[in-house]
Amino acid sequence: MLKSYFSKTRLLYAGMVLLSIIIGLLSRRSDGIPLWIGSAFWGLMIYFIVRFLSVNWRIAKVAAITLLFCYAIELSQLYQAAWINAIRATTPGHLVLGQGFEWGDLIAYTVGIMLGCAFDRIKRIKT
């Protein structure tokens, strides 16, 4: 059962999740790279996580669910209560929930998700 769950395709997506995390975090450490690049890699990471969980779904369905999730997280940043701000003040909370709402992040997430869709289309052509 476990072996069949972790197919080559799922392992590929797990690797892409890790690569997206590494590149996204490294992009935030360089002064020459715009901040939106890290947000694009966050959207790409979420795309690959959804893809890992649902390898048989159509690309459009994965993209739509990922967009909804990313947009919901960004819109949740408009809510500023003490309890959620305390979570956002932690490193994991900041990485997952963000800090403050930015319209540009919605565009960056869309770019990252589009990159994930392109990856899937290229992968499908080559297989």
The pLDDT tens digits for 63-76 are: 999 999 999 999 99
List b or e across 34-45, with b for residues whose CB sees 16 or more CB atoms inside 10 angstroms.
Answer: eebbbbbbbbbb
- Please check whether residue 48 is in contact with residue 116, taking contact to mean a CB–CB distance below 8 angstroms: yes
Task: Express each pLDDT in 89-122 by its tens digit.
Answer: 998 898 888 888 999 999 999 999 999 999 999 9
Q: Cα(77)–Cα(63) distance, rounded to whole angstroms? A: 22
Q: Is the dihedral of CA 30, 75, 102, 117 positive or negative?
A: positive
- Computed over every residue of the chain, the mean pLDDT equals 92
Which pTM does this prediction carry?
Answer: 0.90
Find how far residue 50's CA is from the centre of its chain: 9
